[in-house]
A and B are shown apart, each in its own frame.
Chain A
């Protein structure tokens, strides 16, 4: 569909957490942007898609997911994101894909633009080569379009972090802080507790999260730098976040969807689908995360999509790669928390749209004039996660074989359909 063509999504329930809108409205799109909500802005007619009985949501915004490297983006994983309704994804720097120069940032953006499935928001490297010693060219990274900078899980000492905070503030950058102290977590592959004791696996203590957050919050207090805490997993972490927000610190935070659903007990007999980082912790931690999501203390829930499969997962538990495929499970699993009670629908949807969009400073809303990044969802549709329904190249995921409820039918990026659910032959 050319960008100038008019498109109307007719009769859907439009839910826009950013504005509190929840109403049956037509959505009119032209030139890649939303030009009207409700009555048509003029008499011109274009293509009409009947979405009655379905939800129209802002495209999901995911603060953590892997889709290849700047020079080799994975079309398959980007398509999996689109199938999950995700239209904007923050990409963290990695040792093998360091986003520490404007040229690399440019290549990543160009690659994503060429594929046209998703908007990528690169998180620039905080230090050169993520070595944790020399600051990366933060000012130039900002100029290249990065709004966030972070270490991508690599260790950094307190002194360099402090300098980074100060320098980042001067360039209007948000610093992403991983909620794990590398030294305390070293060698660990799961939560340190009764289950790790029984399985004989080296644990990552909650203290690793507390230490990382405490240092970051202490520095943020003195530096007045905007920080985003990535990957909260514990009740203690939530308590620190809540106190920091209560004190008025400019801090936001996310948790992976998995930590809201599972605990370390789910590892069972060394199931690699539950080898995750941050680790799955105990039931009390999961409850605290759910509560923080419901009351708005947590700003965002991410998929933490890391599509490992094959040899990466066919290893003894401690040796297999940490992370699983999750783009397509993000929305159904968030909706599952609503159905289970305790999480209001607007909060649930805000956590995957306006909340993370506010961290990135862009997107996540349905409004006249905004980019037409949105998805159409059948909230009641049940589907079983198997090879016929899953788009990611990795099948290692906690939800494999599970029946989920809530399915993305259509994803638009700038008004263009980038994903449309293929109906089965029986027309179900």
Chain B
């Protein structure tokens, strides 16, 4: 699969080898991730200041283009862009031209004609960010804020960054990704990022309808028994159970899912005592995670959100801020 990863990743670098877009973690260089983490280290304290901004994107226009509902991701991107001093426009897609029949690429072309510098895009279709990136002008950056079931690279970056913050390094860790992996763009990006950072023991845990065996080809061990999947792990990365998918018969009920696959304190006993618990949110308490675990001492759910702003600042600074005309 490395050839495919390279093809997915190649478009993300410009001719000088600098990060132009962030569409997926597949095919990225490891040093690119390290650079983003280092930059995030320097930006994370901006939020603690009384004047919470730096001039890295002053004069730049960033358009947040959310074709799919999202509160957390959109808000953190908006805060991140503003803390970089960018002019930020959030497009209300349901009221926009696309709902009047305008195509995705026509919408992009029109916004680009308004001299925008970066698009942050959330779309329900896998590959939408790649499509946009192939069709924007050379000076425009595209950041994928989640495309279909394919990728959510900034979420994965903030997850990896949060682990790195707590453990110093990811090398040698055992990581379980638990839940609806089949439909999860977060899981795919987490997998790509974990591989990139040298994590080899990765388990995908869930029922066979949500974690089919073919997902093992992504480079992880598929476990349908949570006791096996969580055994001795350092990190448990939970995924939201996408209830809307249940109508398709993926799992019989919330109750059965929670009984068999929900992350409870009991289920966690097989993991390492200091195992980290993560969740990209929004969480379904009592469906995929018990409140006691979500709010417990091992939970990193809120630090993830805080780190999300620093990571997104780093990504926007690296992509939209590249070039000689920045104030960086």
Q: Which residues of A contact B (CB under 8 A)?
A: 192-195, 197-202, 265, 268-270, 311, 314-319
Contacts and interface: CB of A to CB of B under 8 A. Distances in A.
Given A268-B8, A269-B130, A199 B217 contact: no
B1 A198 contact: yes
A194 B127 contact: no
A318 B150 contact: no
A200 B128 contact: no
Interface in B127-173: 127-128, 130-131, 135, 147-151
8 residue pairs, one from A and one from B, having the closest CB atoms: A270-B127, A200-B150, A316-B125, A200-B149, A194-B217, A200-B126, A268-B7, A316-B128
A318 B4 contact: no
Contact of B214 (A194, A314, A315): A194
Contacts of A270: 126-127, 130-131
A311 B103 contact: yes
Given A194-B1, A201-B126, A318 B8 contact: no
A326 to B, nearest CB: 23
B245 to A, nearest CB: 12
B11 interface: yes
Nearest to B105: A314
Interface residues of B, number: 31
Contact of A198 (B10, B26, B123, B135): B26
Nearest to B248: A187
A315 B127 CA distance: 9
Nearest to B124: A316
Contacts of A195: 1, 4
The B contact surface, by secondary structure, is helix
B218 A198 contact: yes
A314 B135 CA distance: 10
Nearest to B127: A270
Contact of A268 (B4, B105, B126, B151): B4
A316 B148 contact: yes
25 contacts: A193-B214, A193-B217, A194-B218, A195-B1, A195-B4, A197-B218, A198-B1, A198-B5, A198-B26, A199-B8, A199-B126, A200-B185, A201-B127, A201-B148, A201-B150, A265-B3, A269-B10, A269-B11, A269-B130, A270-B130, A314-B105, A315-B104, A316-B123, A317-B126, A317-B131
Interface string B234-272: 000000000000000000000000000000000000000
Given A199-B150, A316-B148, 4 more contacts: A197-B215, A270-B130, A315-B103, A316-B128
Nearest to B148: A200
A193 B1 CA distance: 11
A201 to B, nearest CB: 5
A247 to B, nearest CB: 32
Contacts of A200: 126, 147-151, 185, 188
B193 to A, nearest CB: 14
Interface in B151-203: 151, 185, 188
Contacts of B185: 200
Contacts of A268: 4, 7-8
A318 B3 contact: no
Contacts of B123: 316
Contacts of B149: 200-202
Contact of A316 (B127, B188, B214, B217): B127
Interface string B1-20: 10111011011000000000
Contacts of A199: 4, 8, 126-127, 150
Nearest to B214: A197
A318 B148 contact: yes
